[in-house]
Amino acid sequence: MKAHPLVVFLTVVSVAACADRLSAPESVAAAVHKASFAAAPGDTSTFVVTPNGYYYRNCVYVLGAGEAFGPNGTVNTAHGVKHVLAGCTHPGPVAGSGAAASSPGVTGTTTAASTIPPGYNGWAESYQWNDSTTTLRHMSARFVVPILPANAYANTYALMYWFPGMQNGYAVVQPVLQYGDNGTWGGAYWTIASWICGAVCEASGHTTVNVGDVLGGTIDASNCVAQLCQWDIKTADSTSGITEWLSVPRDWDSTYRETLDRYTNADGGVLELHNLGGCNDLSGGEHEFSQLVFKDSTGTTITHQWHGPIVDPNASPSCGYSGTIKSYTDVVLTDSLAPLLGVYIGGPTYVVDGGS
């Protein structure tokens, strides 16, 4: 798939989704996630800023304790089954929000760019490779929570996302580190969550993490039948022992193709920005994604060299984005800011395969 600033997601959001953190999820059938349709009582805002651009709030699904995705666009809860997929009125990212296009075969929104806050929305820099002959079914990576930006974000929708991930032409899956408020959770602190976004966006709950915490991100496909797979995305704080786990069964939805077994594009490390005011809004210095492992459907580790850093010439703020490829398992994204302080790594120096 052609590299683009953002990919498409699915979304319905909730602040209450963080009530219980998962150290080890149960089976998909035993509910471990949650979906809700508003950020908080009385919240009437239209959009959520996902790691793939702006989405209508009724197209974002955030899972939490006691709930799990079921077949055909449903969510299993302690009170019965919710049919949530039909509630998405405008699938795909909002026009002008930084996403290149809607998912193939899905009618995109026609919302004018003026309906979202002005400012840059996109992938400022990234490392990627694509192999149309490869079907990716596993990713794992290690990264560290960086220092806080010099400027604390005062506005909702001012955001910085860091992540590795995979794309299949219809969706992107990613373990995500977030700074800022996405319209549902966040603020002047770091949080982690797991996402899969195509025409709609699905997310796990979220957890606050600290500077220097060691993070592990994993993506795994299983139970693959007729080119559809169950996808498990885990974003783990190895320092605190907390994991945000998102599990999407293969029969959740065939229309929007998030579960399609055709992930061929690898994202080794991405910096995604939304509506930042200047370079002091960045965390500064080097941001390393190490122990990168991508495996195909046979379990074979793929050793392609990375393309990049791919820098968006329109990225704003423009802060001298660059990077270093150390190996096929290790890439570094940098900017022109000197680190404000050294990051103390307060956790394991490795990531256990499996995301914990």
- Residue 74, domain CATH: 2.60.120.700
Domain interval for residue 123: 16-334
Residue 295, beta-bridge partner list? 138, 301
- For residues 288 and 283, give the distance between their C-alpha atoms in angstroms, rounded to a whole number: 13
Burial, 107: exposed, middle or buried (Cβ in 10 Å; 0-12, 13-18, 19+)?
exposed
The residues near 74 (Cβ < 8 Å, ≥ 6 apart) are: 81, 82, 83, 84, 85
List pLDDT tens digits, range 176-215.
999 999 988 999 999 999 999 988 888 998 999 999 999 9
More confidently predicted of 340 and 350 = 350
In a domain, 343, yes or no: no
List pLDDT tens digits, range 129-160.
999 999 999 999 999 999 999 888 877 778 99
Most confident of 96-105, 146-155, 172-181, 281-290: 172-181
> Positive or negative, the Cα torsion across 342, 346, 352, 356?
negative
List pLDDT tens digits, range 65-86.
677 888 877 788 777 777 666 6
The predicted structure's pLDDT at residue 351:
60
How many C-beta atoms lie closer than 10 Å to residue 352's C-beta?
13
In a domain, 341, yes or no: no
In a domain, 345, yes or no: no
Residue 309, beta-bridge partner list? none
Q: 238 pLDDT band (50/70/90 cuts)?
A: very high
Q: 96 pLDDT band (50/70/90 cuts)?
A: low
Phi, psi of 281 (to 5 degrees): -80, -10
- For residues 14 and 201, give the distance between their C-alpha atoms in angstroms, rounded to a whole number: 13
More confidently predicted of 235 and 92 = 235
| Count of domains for the chain | 1
The predicted structure's pLDDT at residue 325:
96
How many C-beta atoms lie closer than 10 Å to residue 329's C-beta?
18
In a domain, 328, yes or no: yes
Token pair 């941001």 in the structure block, residue: 287
The predicted structure's pLDDT at residue 97:
59
The predicted structure's pLDDT at residue 243:
94
> Positive or negative, the Cα torsion across 9, 11, 13, 18?
negative
- H-run or E-run covering 230: strand 228-237
For 7, 116, 262, the CA distances from 96, given in Å and listed in that order, are 13, 8, 27
Give me the percent of the chain exceeding a pLDDT of 90.
44
What is the rounded radius of gyration, in angstroms, for the C-alpha atoms of the chain? 18
Instruction: Note whether 192 and 205 are within 8 A (CB).
Output: no
In a domain, 319, yes or no: yes
The predicted structure's pLDDT at residue 16:
31
In a domain, 260, yes or no: yes
For 61, 95, 152, the CA distances from 55, given in Å and listed in that order, are 11, 9, 24
In a domain, 10, yes or no: no
In a domain, 39, yes or no: yes
Q: 33 pLDDT band (50/70/90 cuts)?
A: very low
List pLDDT tens digits, range 296-330.
999 999 999 999 999 999 999 999 999 999 999 99
